[in-house]
Structure 1
Amino acid sequence: MHRPPTAEAEVAEELAAVRPALLPRYTAELPGARAAVLTRLWRALVHEPLPWITAREPGAHGLTLRLADGRTLRGPHADPYATSAYVTGVRLDRERYDDPARLMRDLAVPHAPAFAVELDFSVSSLALSRAGAEHPKEWPERDWQWEQRVVDGHPFHPNCRARPGFSVAEQLAYAPEHRPVVELGTVPVPARECLVAGDWPDELRDGGTVLLPVHPWQAAHVLQRSCAPWQPTHPLMSLRTLALPGGRHVKTALSARLTSSVRDISEYSVRSAMPLSALAEELAARTGGLLHITRTLSAATAHSPDLAALLRESPEVYAAPGERVLPVAALATTTLPASPAWLAAFTRLALTVGLRLLDLGVALEAHGQNLLVVLADDGTPRRLVYRDLADMRISPARLARHGIAPPALAGRLVTDDETALRRKLFGSLVAGALATAAGSGPALAAALRAALPELPATADLTALRTDPLPVKALTLMRLSPDHPGDIWTALPHPCVSPVPEPEPEPG
């Protein structure tokens, strides 16, 4: 079938110019990348409250979705917790689609053209990432090496690898899966024009000037200025956070939309950085050694979300000799989750920690990027490490109930709403990190059934046992540009409503 010019062709043309040896592998990876993005999109079409889908009808060999304009869309049963790319095609009326961007364009629903462009870039960038990835059998020694192994990006977002604004050369130069060394620069700002939190290091001061670390992409595309060279770094999964020599991590502003969000650093985040770090450290101490939280060391901003940075500990500092610490997202690059006993033990550990902190008054954004696991030499999960405090939620009422003084903060981080608190934790930890580790609804259900009976009884645990699992409606959010903030939906609880095994696409 003839394909109109797309991001796939644009990337191929650029790749031929900057890295021609990679072009055959990129071309070979395109069908799998289309299936991976189409699987994520089909999950959204089946499970999100999209207003132009009027009915979902299960059949013996799959699902039929009825559209408001009278058309039908047919595909396989959709496991909302599956991470494999099992959807290779769907049918809109009589026509078969294997390209998620073309499907979205032809659905012709509100805001579909812009989203189709994002899907197009997601496919091409994913194929590029897979083409450049290496898959060594030996386990990495450094934390940033684990992050290089996570190639496919967000496990459930159709924009799993969309990097708009990044050329092929820039993806190769800055994305962790391509294993680059990124030279960070600094921009001097008069100290009187900066907000500084914590102990900003002497190496980033010059008399009365604060030196703010800047990502080279940000310098070129947003600040449009040159930067003084500072440090060679290794990029982590989030792209804008990088590992410095000696072990610290630096989080930089990166004003590009990756998956759903623009990755800048607000003044609110800088102001709240140190109080959040102190609170998190106090709460982690109440988990009996099961949780460490990487401390924020310092933060600074030139009163602009485009020019700011945070310095924090590396998770490596919490690994004893013989132990390894890795993001939960990287577990899929090992054989550990394939063992039901290991998955149950990890699930028990993660829920024990997450529910304990929720009871104390903090809901973690514990998805597979923020949550890390400390493994013993034999692979046994020992402890957890949590990083990136900017998206957790704090309940002053719950904290006070446990005799903990709430930090002097207001704004989006603070809420006593139980629904909001449970959404934050359950949506990120259970429907995110644990589902990613399990890889399917049946595997997640087995792990939950093994872990839940051993957890301390709380009202939050009761809600987790029986209620549908809350998740962000990621595709609906991209198709709702006029709706600020998150849109939530619910997935069937794997222990209550068994998910059908996906089958091949209908004929």
Structure 2
Amino acid sequence: MHRPPTAEAEVAEELAAVRPGLVPRYTAELPGARAAVLTRLWRGLTHEPLPWLADRADGPAGCTLRLSDGRRLHGPRPDPYATAAYVSVVRLDEVAYDDPARLMTGLAVAHGTDFAVELGHSVASLALSRAGQERPAAEERPVYDWEWERRVVDGHPYHPGCRSRPGFSVAEQLAYGPEHGPLVRLGLLPVPAGECLVTGDWPDELRDGERLLVPTHPWQAEHVLKRACDTGIDARPLMSLRTLELPGGFHQPCGPHVKTALSARLTSSVRDISGYSIALSATLSAFAETLAARLDGLLHITRTLGAVTANSPDVAAVLRESPRAYAAPGSGECVVPVAALATTGLPESPAWLADFTRLALTVGLRLLDLGVALEAHGQNLLVVLSPTGAPVRLVYRDLADIRVSPARLARHGIPVPELTGRIVTDDVTALRRKLFGSLVAGALAGTAGSAAVLRGALESAVRDLPRTPDLVALLEEPVPAKALTLMRLSPGTPGDQWTGLPHPLH
């Protein structure tokens, strides 16, 4: 057995200085965190087109991968849809590894050294996140958005860098990580209005005469902007870390959400806010609201209230309405991020999971046919639950990475909005990858938790769906998924890379 990577020791040392009482729990969580990240890494190794893998053989005793240099990598039979940590040891020839960072170092492949560092940080940060979490009762229904979102402790269900937060100290993770439930003081950075690009209605509460007050994450202010903000506002961090729930006001029935610029690489990429997305935000929001109206009340899309950039991705913010606004007042409904559904216990019911799967596929496929492919992963997609827990409709947020097909819109007689850039495409493969990769290989798979459970839900759900060309492609072709490990090992290749997962129905 090989352990521990330096990241674990570094985090333990920092934690002893800032929160010594948490050290025993952190230490106890490390083995489980290693297994969780190793399971995600094993998924990538067994299902992605990595150039240094020559062959794969599956058998009753597990799965063996032959490397191009002749070495052999052996582990459990892989389930690409599993969310439980079922991989505790992987053998590279005769050496057993229980640690993903050490395994990646042992593989000695191109760019593996840097990726090993990321994996070590992912393990250590995941253990820290788990150590500071209070486990809620499944039947407990939070009131505020941030209370639901702090339940998603482990981050991305399939990315080996699920909790990698390079550039964040232990103290900063505790202060800003949603799983720790902190109150974050956002700075309000004053910028002359004439120097800003603004779309939508920027609220009076975030203005100071001729200056706009741009909500600024404290990490961004300290590490990137190198300046302090004289005024601020308290907010609660959500799943994406850089998006936070503001207090009530801003002419909204629920505290709105603000996406802040955070020029740090979280999971895979730097999460800045481009001028391109600011410029399109109002047009996209109005268009999406019109299109959602065609879905018989099954889908709501949160409105973008206003967006601003001071001509820099480092100083920008987007203000959105809360998904909670789409729970009928006084009805007892609640709005739950799909990534948090596993904490409710509801997906354990095959009938419930089939109903939810049917609802999600109905909405996603109808919208795709009209001409819009959603990035419907468990963070962007939310479900409205009735007082009894039944899934009744969906809510979608963050339009920055959807895809819009002018040809499909025109086919349905829908006016094509004035959009440019990466969002616009008529490429069928790109459209289907966007939806199927996020919804089926992401939100639905993550909620089901295994290939067997996902198979049952899909079998039940697809019986009632119109057999469109998109549905046929979904049922008959491998399920597209982002090749997350390949992407981290290909730093010189821009954009997304893809793989095809074995279809759970086949």
Normalising TM by the smaller chain, what interval? over 0.9
The reply to whether residue 183 of structure 1 matches residue 185 of structure 2 is yes
Say which of 270, 275, 279 aligns to 2:283: 275
2:233 aligns to what SS in structure 1?
strand
Output one character per residue of 1:364-406: Cα deviation in whole Å (capped at 9) or x when no partner.
0000000000000110001100000000000011111111111
The reply to whether residue 416 of structure 1 matches residue 418 of structure 2 is no
Return the letter of the residue paired with 1:451.
A
Specify the alignment match of 1:445 in structure 2: 455
Specify the alignment match of 2:251 in structure 1: none
Q: How does 1:80-479 map to 2 (within 5 A)?
A: 80-137=80-137, 138-246=140-248, 247-320=255-328, 321-479=331-489
Return the letter of the residue paired with 1:225.
R
1:250 aligns to what SS in structure 2?
strand
Q: Does the aligned pair in 1 maintain the 2:375–2:402 contact within 8 Å?
A: yes
Supply the distance in 2 between the matched residues of 1:461 and 1:485 (Cα, whole angstroms): 26
Q: CA deviation at 1:191?
A: 1.2
Specify the alignment match of 2:45 in structure 1: 45
1:212 aligns to what SS in structure 2?
strand
Return the letter of the residue paired with 1:384.
L
Q: Does the aligned pair in 1 maintain the 2:455–2:505 contact within 8 Å?
A: yes
Output one character per residue of 1:87-144: Cα deviation in whole Å (capped at 9) or x when no partner.
0001001010000000001100000000000000000000000000111212212111
Supply the distance in 2 between the matched residues of 1:385 and 1:242 (Cα, whole angstroms): 18
Supply the distance in 1 between the matched residues of 2:312 and 2:149 (Cα, whole angstroms): 29
Supply the distance in 2 between the matched residues of 1:301 and 1:275 (Cα, whole angstroms): 16
Supply the distance in 2 between the matched residues of 1:494 and 1:179 (Cα, whole angstroms): 36
2:423 aligns to what SS in structure 1?
coil
Return the letter of the residue paired with 2:276.
Y
1:180 aligns to what SS in structure 2?
coil
Return the letter of the residue paired with 2:298.
L
Q: CA deviation at 1:231?
A: 1.3
Q: CA deviation at 1:62?
A: 0.2
Return the letter of the residue paired with 2:500.
A
Return the letter of the residue paired with 1:255.
S
Return the letter of the residue paired with 2:482.
K
2:379 aligns to what SS in structure 1?
coil
Specify the alignment match of 1:488 in structure 2: 498
Q: CA deviation at 1:3?
A: 4.0
- Extract unaligned runs of 5+ from structure 2: 249-254
Supply the distance in 1 between the matched residues of 2:424 and 2:119 (Cα, whole angstroms): 34
**Residues matched between the structures, number:** 496
Runs of 4+ in structure 1 off by over 3 angstroms are 1-5
Supply the distance in 1 between the matched residues of 2:159 and 2:360 (Cα, whole angstroms): 23
Specify the alignment match of 1:503 in structure 2: none
Return the letter of the residue paired with 1:487.
Q
Supply the distance in 2 between the matched residues of 1:316 and 1:2 (Cα, whole angstroms): 46
Q: Does the aligned pair in 2 maintain the 1:65–1:74 contact within 8 Å?
A: yes
Q: Which moves more between the two structures, 33-42 or 320-329? A: 320-329
Q: CA deviation at 1:5?
A: 5.5
Supply the distance in 2 between the matched residues of 1:443 and 1:65 (Cα, whole angstroms): 26
Shift in alpha-carbon separation, 1:3–1:466, aligned structure 2, 3 A: closer
Supply the distance in 2 between the matched residues of 1:121 and 1:5 (Cα, whole angstroms): 9
Supply the distance in 1 between the matched residues of 2:42 and 2:91 (Cα, whole angstroms): 11
Supply the distance in 2 between the matched residues of 1:474 and 1:4 (Cα, whole angstroms): 24
Aligned-residue sequence identity (percent) comes to 74
Q: CA deviation at 1:2?
A: 7.0
Normalised by the size of structure 1, how large is the TM-score? 0.97
Specify the alignment match of 1:66 in structure 2: 66
Supply the distance in 2 between the matched residues of 1:2 and 1:41 (Cα, whole angstroms): 16
1:44 aligns to what SS in structure 2?
helix
Supply the distance in 2 between the matched residues of 1:45 and 1:312 (Cα, whole angstroms): 38
Supply the distance in 2 between the matched residues of 1:41 and 1:372 (Cα, whole angstroms): 27
Shift in alpha-carbon separation, 1:316–1:91, aligned structure 2, 3 A: same
Q: Does the aligned pair in 2 maintain the 1:183–1:229 contact within 8 Å?
A: no
Q: Does the aligned pair in 1 maintain the 2:2–2:97 contact within 8 Å?
A: no
- Extract unaligned runs of 5+ from structure 1: 497-507
Q: Which moves more between the two structures, 24-33 or 393-402? A: 393-402
Q: Which moves more between the two structures, 52-61 or 424-433? A: 52-61
Output one character per residue of 1:327-384: Cα deviation in whole Å (capped at 9) or x when no partner.
0000111110010000000000000000010011000000000000000011000110
1:228 aligns to what SS in structure 2?
coil
Q: CA RMSD in A?
A: 0.9
Return the letter of the residue paired with 1:50.
L
RCO higher in structure (CA 8 A, sep ≥6): 1
Return the letter of the residue paired with 2:147.
Q
Q: Does the aligned pair in 1 maintain the 2:2–2:99 contact within 8 Å?
A: no
Output one character per residue of 1:4-33: Cα deviation in whole Å (capped at 9) or x when no partner.
661000000000000000000000000000
Specify the alignment match of 2:252 in structure 1: none
2:318 aligns to what SS in structure 1?
strand
Supply the distance in 2 between the matched residues of 1:404 and 1:183 (Cα, whole angstroms): 43
1:233 aligns to what SS in structure 2?
strand
2:395 aligns to what SS in structure 1?
strand
1:389 aligns to what SS in structure 2?
coil
Q: Does the aligned pair in 1 maintain the 2:201–2:306 contact within 8 Å?
A: yes
Supply the distance in 1 between the matched residues of 2:104 and 2:79 (Cα, whole angstroms): 21
Shift in alpha-carbon separation, 1:100–1:127, aligned structure 2, 3 A: same
Normalised by the size of structure 2, how large is the TM-score? 0.97
2:231 aligns to what SS in structure 1?
strand
Return the letter of the residue paired with 1:95.
V
1:434 aligns to what SS in structure 2?
helix
Shift in alpha-carbon separation, 1:422–1:17, aligned structure 2, 3 A: same
Supply the distance in 2 between the matched residues of 1:309 and 1:434 (Cα, whole angstroms): 30
1:481 aligns to what SS in structure 2?
coil
Supply the distance in 2 between the matched residues of 1:299 and 1:142 (Cα, whole angstroms): 23
Supply the distance in 2 between the matched residues of 1:72 and 1:84 (Cα, whole angstroms): 25
Q: CA deviation at 1:228?
A: 2.5
